[in-house]
Amino acid sequence: MTSAARPGALEGLKVLDLTHARAGPTCVRQLADMGADVIQVASPERGDLGGSDAHNLHRGKRSIAIDLKSEAGYEVFLRLVSEADVLVENFRAGVKHRLKIDYETLSAAHPRLVYASLSGFGQTGPYRDRPGYDQIAQGLGGLMSVTGPPGGGPWRVGIAISDTAAGTFLTQGVLAALLARERSGRGQWVHTSLLESMINFMDFQATRWTIDGVVPGQAGNDHPTVFPMGAYRTADGYINIAAPTDWERTARALEAPELAADPRFASHRARLENRSALQAAIEEKLATRPSREWVEILNRADIACGPVLALDEVFADPQVRHLEMTAEVEHPDDETVALLRLPLTFSETPASVRGPMPRGGGHTREILAEHGYSTERIDELVDSGAVATETRPVRWPGA
C-alpha cells in the first residue's frame, strides 16, 4: 500500500477551509497532508493565488463555492459547520462578524468546534483592521533590520517567511486544541498572526534585546555572534562553513595551520574583533580549490560545511533526491505537477500529498449530497446563486 493510500494521522478529521492567499492555506495544507478531509469554502466571485502557488497550497482539498452573503448559502455553510471538527479562516475581524461566521456565533451552536484564525497583526489592538502581508510583517517584526550586509539598508528575506511561520504555528495550535478537546469535550478559538509569528521567529536575535539589551544589526552572510560561521568565496563559487568550536582543527583542514597561531585569531573574541582580516585569510586559502573539493575536505575533518546552491541544483543534490522532497500528482488541467511534501516522516500514519488542487467549486454537488441535500435541492441552490460549481477566475500578479 502506498503512503497516499494509507490512513494519515488525522484520518477522519473534517476541516472547513475559509482561507486565501498564503499563510492560512499553509496551515490547511499541512492538515490535509496529514490525512484530514478538507473542504475549501470558496467564494463564487473571488479566486485565489494561481499557478504553481495554487498547486502547492491547495492540494489535497475538495472545493465548494458558497455565497455566504445569501440566506440560503449561509444555511448551507451552517450545515457544513455542524459536521466539521475544525474551521480555519483569515478574514479581517469586521468581515467575519458581518458574515456571522465569527467564533462566538459558530461556537454557541457547535461547542466542539476548533476555530482557527490567522490575521496580519492580531485579533485585537490598534492594528487589528489593517491589511497585512509578509513583507510588512518582516519590517515591523524586525527581520529586515538584521538581514543583509552591514550598512546596506533594510533587506527582505527571499521567502514569505512570516506567512509560512504563521501557518505552521496555527497548525500546531489546531492540533493542541484537538488534543485538549479529547479531555474537555469542548473546542476553542486558537489564533495567531503574521506579526506574532515573525517576532517569535526572531528567536535569539529578539532575546539579545529583551535579555541582553543589545539591538542587533546586520551581519550579512556572517553569523552575528559566532565566527567563523558564514559564506566564503572559493575558486568557483561560495560555500558555507560553520566552525564555532574547534578553530585549530578548522585551520588545519583549510591547510592554514598558521592562522590558528596568529594572535589576532587566537580566541573567540579576537576572531570576532578581527573578522574582516580572518575572512580575507580564509578566502585566500579557499581560492586554491573549487567548492566541491572544499566541501569534501572539511566534512572529512568533521567541520560543518556545505555548498550554496540555486534551486535547480538543490533538487539535483543526492541527499535531497534521497529524501524524496517532492511528490507528483495528476491534475486534470495541468497534467503532472511536482509538489513539495510535508517534511515529516511518520512510521505508522504517513503524511502524503493526497491529491491535486481542486477547481474552485468543483466538488459543490458532491459535498452537498454528502450533507443530505437532494438532487432537486442542489439544483435549486445552484440556480439561485447560493452555491456555484465554479468560481470566477482571478489573475494574480506572477500567476
Question: Residue 101, Cβ neighbours under 10 Å: how many?
Answer: 22
20 and 92 Cβ atoms separated by less than 8 Å: no
Catalytic choice (17, 67, 102, 163) = 163
SS3 257: helix
Q: Does residue 163 have an active-site annotation?
A: yes
Is residue 159 packed enough to be buried (19+ CB in 10 Å), middle (13-18) or exposed (0-12)? exposed
Distance, in Å, from the CA atom of 308 to the CA atom of 129, rounded to the nearest integer, reads 40
25 and 358 Cβ atoms separated by less than 8 Å: no
Tell the residue number behind the cell numbers 540555486, with chain if given: 310
Nearest 5°: CA angle at 115, between 111 and 118?
A: 160
Contacts of 240 (CB under 8 A, 6+ apart): 230, 231, 232, 305, 306, 307, 308
Distance, in Å, from the CA atom of 86 to the CA atom of 178, rounded to the nearest integer, reads 9
Give the catalytic positions in this structure: 163
